[in-house]
């Protein structure tokens, strides 16, 4: 398979991650026209945006055929898990993103935990439970905090860390019998709690070669000091300073067995593998465990990692989609980046929409910064307004962690909307 150069490209998704992907594609020499569905007002400045059901493979394929799309990049998990990549590949369209079988690494925790066990990949000991009796037995030999996970996709709402066994069982009952998360909760993974510090590592693979991207860390709690409820991520930075040799160990202990496991199970994987890791200091060194896989870039980690790419992102995506990743240069990332999410007061709970946003058009005043849109919309008067919990992400890039942080916060503080809230301590763990 080949693609036309420059290649007319479709990106699926409409958050900050997809804005970052579109931005990098807009600087690519091998990318032609960029289309995005559904996109957002930030993306609309760089791409033609379209409204169709991105989880319906037939609609996506028909759009591609009628618009002469040469390659598709799938941003979020839902279309991956729905098998959109399979429908496109069957129609001869190259895709950056795994098919339904590979996306099960993210779409089914029961599958991904069993996969790790089958292939000797380090992860917390676990049980898969389909009845309340099985949950009771799984919790019997465990200690608090208990870790209860719904098997399927739950938009970040499927992981529970209760302190009491009674609470843990009540959650299991709601999932299994109350159906609170629908089919996603029809099976449960109960696992050991892993203490330590989290790390995100993305690898891009075409099923044969891989490229590891710089490690990043996101900050999931809504308030400074890692307080308050979990969110989709309030900010991230990259690279993370790590003990020497740690990334080589991630490749050897996690990524390579993951790729050989996929190959052994006849799963052709072309896209991103997100390794959500827990690092724990032990007497004999750092222990690495996999908390989760995702089948896509993280959000907001992508908004901190992709701007570090000095190579051509369009070429990286094309070579991955075509199975030619071997031809892509090895080291093309440099510098530091930090991204601050500007959220709406109340998020991740109830929040208002429709507040006018000021300070967006001032990028030229701020060196090496990006503002990525996530939850924004254009109102009846043509003004950009808030339309989600996570509204924008301000990213700063620089030669050092400090310079990246300073630039990100300078850019963030020039933006205003009613109820704007952001964390002031993104990157704290870099200096802890
Ligand atoms: P997951 O969707 O599996 O990544 O879980 C969401 C978050 O819950 C993770 O990013 C961790 O912060 C936390 N978590 C999940 N599993 C564990 C575990 N076994 N031990 C400690 N924290 C966990
Ligand atoms: N930031 C976490 C995720 O994208 O899953």
pLDDT digits (tens, 9 = 90+) for 365-422: 999 999 999 999 999 999 999 999 999 999 999 999 999 999 999 999 999 999 999 9
pLDDT digits (tens, 9 = 90+) for 73-87: 999 999 999 999 999
pLDDT band, very low/low/confident/very high, at 432 (cuts 50, 70, 90): low
CA angle 100, 103, 108 (to 5 degrees): 105
Q: How far is the CA of 291 from the centre of ligand 1 (A)?
A: 6
Q: To test the ligand 1 pocket, which listed residue (127, 145, 159) has its Cβ within 8 A of the most ligand atoms?
A: 159
Q: How far is the CA of 193 from the centre of ligand 1 (A)?
A: 8
Q: Give the residue among 371, 383, 375 at the shortest CA–CA distance from 352.
A: 375
Average pLDDT, the chain: 95
Record the tokens describing residue 90, joined without a space. 């069957």
For residue 336, pLDDT over 90 is answered with yes
Distances (CA, A) of 209 to 166, 328, 331, 344: 47, 10, 14, 41
Cβ-in-10-Å burial (0-12, 13-18, 19+) of 144 comes to middle
DSSP state of 309: B
- 356-388 burial by CB neighbour count: b if 16+ within 10 A, else e? ebebbeeeeebebbbbbbbbbeeeeeeebbbbb
CATH topology of domain 7-97: Rossmann fold (3.40.50)
Q: To test the ligand 1 pocket, which listed residue (161, 189, 274) has its Cβ within 8 A of the most ligand atoms?
A: 161
The helix-helix angle for 313-322 and 16-26 (nearest 10°) equals 100
From CA 307, how far away is CA 302, in angstroms rounded?
A: 8
From CA 44, how far away is CA 378, in angstroms rounded?
A: 11
Number of Cβ within 10 Å of residue 429's Cβ equals: 16
- For domain 126-191, the CATH class is alpha beta
Q: Where are the domains of the chain?
A: 7-97, 126-191
pTM recorded for the entire structure: 0.96
Cβ-in-10-Å burial (0-12, 13-18, 19+) of 330 comes to exposed
């Amino acid at each position: 398979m080949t693609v036309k150069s420059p290649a007319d490209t479709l990106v699926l998704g409409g958050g900050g991650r997809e804005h970052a992907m579109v931005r990098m594609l807009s600087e690519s020499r091998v990318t032609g026209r960029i289309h995005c569905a559904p996109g957002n007002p930030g993306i609309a400045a760089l791409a033609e945006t379209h409204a169709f059901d991105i989880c319906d493979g037939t609609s996506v394929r028909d759009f591609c055929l009628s618009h002469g799309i040469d390659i598709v990049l799938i941003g979020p998990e839902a279309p991956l898990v729905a098998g959109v990549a399979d429908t496109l590949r069957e129609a001869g369209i190259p895709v950056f993103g795994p098919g339904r079988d590979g996306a099960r690494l993210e779409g089914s925790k029961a599958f991904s935990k069993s996969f790790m066990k089958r292939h000797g990949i380090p992860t917390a000991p676990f049980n898969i439970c389909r009845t309340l009796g099985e949950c009771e037995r799984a919790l019997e030999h465990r200690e608090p905090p208990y870790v209860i996970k719904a098997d399927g996709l739950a938009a970040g709402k499927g992981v529970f860390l209760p302190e009491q066994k009674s609470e843990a069982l009540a959650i299991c009952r709601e999932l299994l019998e109350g159906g609170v998360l629908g089919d996603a909760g029809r099976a449960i993974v109960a696992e050991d709690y892993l203490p330590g510090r989290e790390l995100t590592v993305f690898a891009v693979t075409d099923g044969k070669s891989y490229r590891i991207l710089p490690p990043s860390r996101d900050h999931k709690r809504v308030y400074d000091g890692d307080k308050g409820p979990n969110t989709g991520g309030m900010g991230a930075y990259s690279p993370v300073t790590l003990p020497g040799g740690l990334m080589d160990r991630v490749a050897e202990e996690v990524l390579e067995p993951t790729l050989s496991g996929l190959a052994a199970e006849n799963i052709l994987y072309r896209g991103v593998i997100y390794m959500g890791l827990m690092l724990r200091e032990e007497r004999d060194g750092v222990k690495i465990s996999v908390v989760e896989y995702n089948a896509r870039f993280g959000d907001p980690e992508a908004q901190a990692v992709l701007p570090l790419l000095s190579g051509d992102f369009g070429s990286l995506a094309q070579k991955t989609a075509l199975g030619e990743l071997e031809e892509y240069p090895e080291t093309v990332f440099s510098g530091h980046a930090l991204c601050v999410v500007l959220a709406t007061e109340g998020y991740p709970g109830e929040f208002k929409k429709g507040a006018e946003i000021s300070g967006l058009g001032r990028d030229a005043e701020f060196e090496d910064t990006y503002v990525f849109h996530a939850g924004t919309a254009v109102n009846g008067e043509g003004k950009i307004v808030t339309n989600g919990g996570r509204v924008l992400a301000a990213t700063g890039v620089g030669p050092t962690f400090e310079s990246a942080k300073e630039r990100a916060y300078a850019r963030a503080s020039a933006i205003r909307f009613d109820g704007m809230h952001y964390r002031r301590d993104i990157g704290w763990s870099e200096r802890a």
